Amino acid sequence: MNPSPRAGAIRLAQKHLAQKPVYLDTETTGVTKNDVLVEIAVIDHEAPP
C-alpha cells in the first residue's frame, strides 16, 4: 500500500526538523529592484514562540 502524500510530507518535515534548522526571515520595502532590505531575523529552531 502506498503512503498518502500527507503522510510523506509529515515524514519529510520530521526529518528536516530533526536536523535543528535555523530560519532566516527578511523584510523589504517591496519586490522590485529599487526596493531595499530593512530587517533580517535569524531564528534558532529551539527558540521559544
Query: pLDDT, tens digit, for every residue of 23-47?
Result: 999 999 999 999 999 999 998 888 7
| Alpha helix segments (H runs only) across 1-49 | 5-17
Distances (CA, A) of 40 to 14, 16, 23: 26, 22, 11
pLDDT, the chain, mean: 90
Q: Does the pTM exceed 0.75?
A: no
How sure is the predictor about 1, in pLDDT bands with cuts at 50, 70 and 90?
low
Q: Can you give the pLDDT at residue 49? A: 67
Domain ranges in the chain?
21-49
For residues 40 and 25, the answer to whether their CB atoms sit within 8 Å is yes
